[in-house]
Amino acid sequence: MVNDKVNVAVLGATGAVGREFLRIFAARSFPVGNLRLFASARSAGQTVDYLGNSISIEDAATADWAGVDYAFFSAGAGRSREYAPIANAAGCTVIDNSSAFRMDDQVPLIVPEVNGDRLPSDAKLVANPNCTAAILCTAIAPIERRARIARLVVSTYQSASGGGAAVMEELRAQTEATLAGREIMPEVLPHPYAFNLFSHNTPIGEDGFNEEESKVIAETRRMMGRPDLAINVTCVRVPVMRAHSESITIEFEGAAPSEEDIRQWLNEAPGVRVVDDRANNHFPMPSEASGTDDVLVGRIRRDPSHPNAVLLFVSGDQLLKGAALNAVQIAETLIRLRS
């Protein structure tokens, strides 16, 4: 990281991801010069502490982006479509955490450990991928570089953090109510969440896949540079507060690599930590992935039903590698490329 300071803005500063940006800036010594925080009008005027300084939240609707070098957007696709062109016109580089630009061929979709080499130094708008796709690709990219993948079968176990602060609070409140013997009344999600699981709460398309599943398929293909990669995804919301998990079957075009080779490749990969202790039945868990930068990968084993397939289980923090951390890493990459 270079020492020159950059002026930074966060759009959606009061949300779960917005709060993580501030923590990550401090933890990684991101070279923040002037810091500006934007949110909705109802939050304007509130203050947030950053490294002992009180930063006042500004109304995004009247934001002046002049002088901002890097802006981190996490306020939904609609606001991103509205404000990103304005920020770009003011000379600001925007890193967007919404779905607004992820499938735009003119906008890079980046996980630095996966396809950071395809990030142009002059990019003014960069898309941060879907959290589930980011975690998936971080785990499989080190393998794909050595053994070409023919097909992926993925089942996800997605936490409340993927739905934002309101969903996290709903899980907490419903868990408390259930343990107290009170009736649960879903307000944010369509079904009771505590002690339950259900298909991801996004609309179902005509093909029977929900929106989350379709995003994971399309974005994984784009990030991996494999537009025809065969992928089958089932996304499920589970009553875990933070960190997504995924069960992954990888079918290879040729003979499957050995378990030993896969462990070695993953051990050498940035952004990955192997947790694969068979003797103690200790494998990736969301409780250990929460608050952790790395994607945890384990349960590495051959598929007895397919000669060219292996199985993995992964867990990664949705608010970090699936959102805020990855966005900050994109900015760090751009700063290095531009220095």
Query: What pLDDT score does 16 carry?
Result: 87
Q: Which of 131, 137, 200, 235 is catalytic?
A: 131
Token couple for 68: 């901002």
Residue 193 and residue 237 in contact, taking contact as beta carbons nearer than 8 Å:
yes
Distance CA 280, CA 84 (A): 49
Could you count the other beta carbons within 10 Å of the beta carbon of residue 311? 17
Residue 94 and residue 69 in contact, taking contact as beta carbons nearer than 8 Å:
no
Domains of the chain with bracketed CATH? 6-129+323-338 (3.40.50.720), 133-317 (3.30.360.10)
- Residue 54: CB partners within 8 Å, gap ≥ 6? 47, 48
Buried residues in 166-192 as b, exposed as e (16+ CB within 10 A): ebbebbebbbeebeeeeebeeebbeeb
> What is the gyration radius of the CA atoms in the chain, in angstroms?
20
Query: What pLDDT score does 165 carry?
Result: 84
Query: What pLDDT score does 3 carry?
Result: 57
Query: What pLDDT score does 1 carry?
Result: 42
Query: What pLDDT score does 148 carry?
Result: 98
Four-point Cα dihedral 320, 324, 325, 326, nearest 10: 110
For the chain, how far is it from start to end, CA to CA, in angstroms? 10
Distance CA 271, CA 268 (A): 9
Token couple for 286: 């969301």
Chain-centre distance for alpha carbon 222: 15
- Per-residue pLDDT tens for 94-129? 999 999 999 999 999 999 999 999 999 999 999 999
Characterize the bridge pairing of strands 149-158 and 198-199: unpaired
- Reading the chain (339 residues) residue by residue, the pLDDT tens digits are 445 899 999 999 998 899 999 999 999 999 999 999 999 999 999 999 999 999 999 999 999 999 999 999 999 999 999 999 999 999 999 999 999 999 999 999 999 999 999 999 999 999 999 999 999 999 999 999 999 999 999 999 999 999 988 999 999 999 999 999 999 999 999 999 999 999 999 999 999 999 999 999 999 999 999 999 999 999 999 999 999 999 999 999 999 999 999 999 999 999 999 999 999 999 999 999 999 999 999 999 999 999 999 999 999 999 999 999 999 999 999 999 999
Q: How far is CA 85 from CA 6, 71, 82, 142, 212, in A?
A: 20, 12, 7, 35, 26
Specify which residues 316 forms β-bridges with.
Answer: 244
Please indicate whether residue 137 is annotated as part of the active site. Answer: no
Coil/strand/helix, residue 61: helix
- Per-residue pLDDT tens for 206-223? 999 999 999 999 999 999
Please indicate whether residue 244 is annotated as part of the active site. Answer: yes
Distance CA 44, CA 28 (A): 27
Could you count the other beta carbons within 10 Å of the beta carbon of residue 203? 9
Distance CA 126, CA 149 (A): 26
Q: Which of 137, 200, 235, 244 is catalytic?
A: 244
Characterize the bridge pairing of strands 53-59 and 47-50: antiparallel
